[in-house]
Amino acid sequence: MESPSVSFSAQATQPKKTSHNRNRSASDGAALVHPGHRLSPYHPAWSLTDLLDTFGPLIFPIHRAALLRKRILISCHAPVREICNFVYNISVLSNIPQTVAELLAPSSSSQRLRPLFTIGVHDIPFLVEDFEASKRKKADSNDAVPDEAGSGWIACTTDSILAMKDTLWDMLITMPPPYSPNAKDKVWPTVECPRGVPVKATQRDLRRFRALKSGLTRLTATTPRPRTAESPRSENSTSFKLTTGAFPASSLESDEALDKIVEPLSWSALAYNGFMWWASAGEQARSEEQEESARDAALLADLGLMPHTPSMTMPAPKPRTASGGMRDSIGSVASRQSVGPDDDEARTELAVIAYFHRLTAQMLSVMADVVESSDDRYEDDDDDEQEAEDTPLRSDSEADLRSVRVESHAIESMGLDVWNAHDAEFVKELMAKYFDRKPYIEGKGVEVCGVRVC
């Protein structure tokens, strides 16, 4: 039986190493599901709204790192139950929908991020061995690895020494101390890369998070949630926190509360927006805002319907871009045969999972379209093909990793910030990992008489 919060593809049984068994499945939570397709009261998926409340817009750069199958370490304090739930949920949110997986290159990365849950200093040899396995995979893409070694992971730890060894992880998330909820101002987790490079959300992430919060607020408002005395969650439910607790409207509008985790608007973006506002009397800016809002709204489309309603797919202009991956992320919801109080309570959690699966499908589908159009141009250009055949000094790796031109409109269609250098780097890594292509990112700007002004 499949958990309603998880939509993994079937994983083949793989031999496990006897030296250190960390090959735990992200779908182990399916064992907590009772007959009738209902979540256990203690299922980690119930903490999804807590996850959004805790990280805010930072959840999006964390999600992108998870898609790249980075090694993500969460440094926290005991007890670790809630953080382990976060580990599980981030792994689930970063899964590749089954239908979209068909568009990826055969040598693409693993379809899920391994949740290791809690690790300590005794796991350092395993982490070092896993890192060596990842380097072997990069050196030889045809190397058949018997398990998921080197494919990225997410875990939490209370041992601060692991956080100090930046060769063991690619992204470090440091949780606030336990007393931080009593602070006057919101205390955010800190996210960084090795050598102390901070990671912040982009302006696009902030707008997307506000749209997500608004959509979940409407979904919660239209969903009756009866409480029963028998439910262990009836007295301490987290389903409403996103709408009435940690993120009231006033705090989201406070620039001071977000300056620490959101990058400021770049000068290039300011110059472009100012120029386009002057040149088009504001029409261009309003048009771009409407397109962006429509894309964000589409990620939550139809999720307010009853679970047994057959129309559970997202309307989109391109069937491959949405219908496949979006249907896959919530297909288990539509397959339910009964609707009860637990089904209504899980509506928000299921919507969050479907939202991130749709966001993943959106990125990969746009990339697949870019690669397909580039391949068509490559095949039609006989001169370039003949030149490639007559170049004996070009290595096999250069021949396999062909260049792809990614325009600014494609970046926007992926839901990324076209002005942000980190998002551009993310596109490069994602394209190489899932499509075996080397993208050339075309920036956005304005040219006057052949001179780029912004």
The pLDDT of residue 327: 42
Query: Residues with Cβ < 8 Å from 181, sequence gap 6 or more?
Result: none
Q: Is the pTM of this model over 0.85?
A: no
> Rounded to an integer, what distance in angstroms lies between the CA atom of residue 433 and that of residue 141?
11
194: part of which helix (H) or strand (E)?
Answer: none
> Rounded to an integer, what distance in angstroms lies between the CA atom of residue 184 and that of residue 129?
43
The pLDDT of residue 213: 92
pLDDT band at 284 (very low <50, low <70, confident <90, very high): low
pLDDT band at 202 (very low <50, low <70, confident <90, very high): very high
Helices and strands of the chain, counted as H and E runs: 19, 10
The pLDDT of residue 40: 82
- 3-class SS of residue 12: coil
Q: What is the DSSP letter of 440?
A: E
% residues pLDDT > 90 (the chain) = 34
- Residue ranges of the domains in the chain? 26-226+238-365
Q: Comparing C-alpha atoms, which of 187, 216, 126 is closest to residue 162?
A: 126
Query: In terms of pLDDT, which residue wins out, 55 or 274?
Result: 55
Query: In terms of pLDDT, which residue wins out, 450 or 116?
Result: 116
CA–CA distance from 234 to each of 227, 238, 338 (Å)?
A: 6, 10, 21
Q: Comparing C-alpha atoms, which of 191, 145, 182, 157 is closest to residue 75?
A: 157
108 burial (CB, 10 Å; 0-12 / 13-18 / 19+) is: middle
> Rounded to an integer, what distance in angstroms lies between the CA atom of residue 185 and that of residue 190?
15
The pLDDT of residue 319: 40
User: For residue range 100-148, what is the model confidence (pLDDT) as tens digits?
Assistant: 888 887 777 677 899 999 999 999 999 999 888 887 766 665 554 445 6
- 3-class SS of residue 41: coil
Helices assigned H by DSSP within 222-318? 241-244, 249-253, 255-258, 267-280, 283-298
Q: What angle do CA 222, 341, 323 make, to 5 degrees?
A: 60
Mean pLDDT lowest among 65-69, 111-115, 209-213, 254-258:
254-258
User: For residue range 299-353, what is the model confidence (pLDDT) as tens digits?
Assistant: 888 875 434 333 333 333 344 444 444 444 444 433 333 344 445 567 889 999 9
User: For residue range 167-184, what is the model confidence (pLDDT) as tens digits?
Assistant: 999 999 999 998 888 888
Compute and round to an integer the Cα radius of gyration of the chain: 23
pLDDT band at 210 (very low <50, low <70, confident <90, very high): very high
191: part of which helix (H) or strand (E)?
Answer: strand 190-193
Q: What is the DSSP letter of 22?
A: -
> Rounded to an integer, what distance in angstroms lies between the CA atom of residue 210 and that of residue 76?
27
Query: In terms of pLDDT, which residue wins out, 425 or 134?
Result: 425
pLDDT band at 279 (very low <50, low <70, confident <90, very high): low
